[in-house]
Amino acid sequence: MKKLIALVIAVLLAGCAAVTKVEGEQVVNGRLTLTVDHAWNRLSGALGGQPYETWTQDGPSLDHLRIWAGIAAGEPLMKYTGRVPAGQTAPRVPTFTAGMAPDQLVTLFEQLYAVDGSTVKVAKVEPATFAGEKGVRFEFNIARKRDDLQLKGVGWAAVRGNELFAATFVAPQVAFFPKLFPKASGIVATAKIKG
């Protein structure tokens, strides 16, 4: 079964993205270290130079762990890479600003996951520590627009100085989320800010 999944991922990503295995201590954007006990696949190339890293177990359409490290005030959390019809402008993307309250940080990620027209509903928000800093943990649900797939997500965010550090894990509510969330949250629990 694992070979079949690997083959499907390879076919879906052929020519689109480079896939590299991540395991052990990893450094994201030179600013955040994480320890990976179970191998994940890091995607690059087709992501259009996004300001986050994307890791997956079974392919980005089925699950992803995104990690932001050291996003400065005034920087967007994503680059819009979708098609924009002639005569229209690209959707506005969420941008981090200094001094944001925890609920405003959560709203950034709600906007990020809704930029493609998906419906996002935040289910729970609570204070938490992320990467050694006081921050916020939030849970959300997504009805993905392109296929109506019901996804569940959890996010963590904290600000140090005027920089944002965050992670989100998203997967289908049935089967994938319960199976992979313990692995993703285990990685997030090891996050440490460098410098």
Q: Grade residue 47 by pLDDT with cuts at 50, 70 and 90.
A: low
pLDDT of 194 = 94
Tokens of 166: 């965050």
User: Which domains does the chain show, CATH number per domain?
Assistant: 2-193 (3.40.1000.10)
Look up tokens 């019809």; give the residue.
85
The per-residue pLDDT for range 59-84, each reduced to its tens digit, is: 998 999 999 999 999 999 999 877 77
Q: Which residues pair with 129 in a beta bridge?
A: 134
How does DSSP assign 118-181, residue by residue? Answer: -EEEEEEEEEEEETTEEEEEEEEEEE-TTT--EEEEEEEEEEETTEEEEEEEEEETTTHHHHHH
The per-residue pLDDT for range 158-187, each reduced to its tens digit, is: 999 999 999 999 999 999 999 999 999 999
Quick count: other Cβ atoms within 10 Å of Cβ 82? 10
Q: Report the predicted TM-score, pTM, of the whole model to 2 decimal places.
A: 0.87
Torsion angle of C-alpha atoms 144, 32, 40, 95, degrees rounded to 10: 20
Return the biggest CA–CA distance within the chain: 48
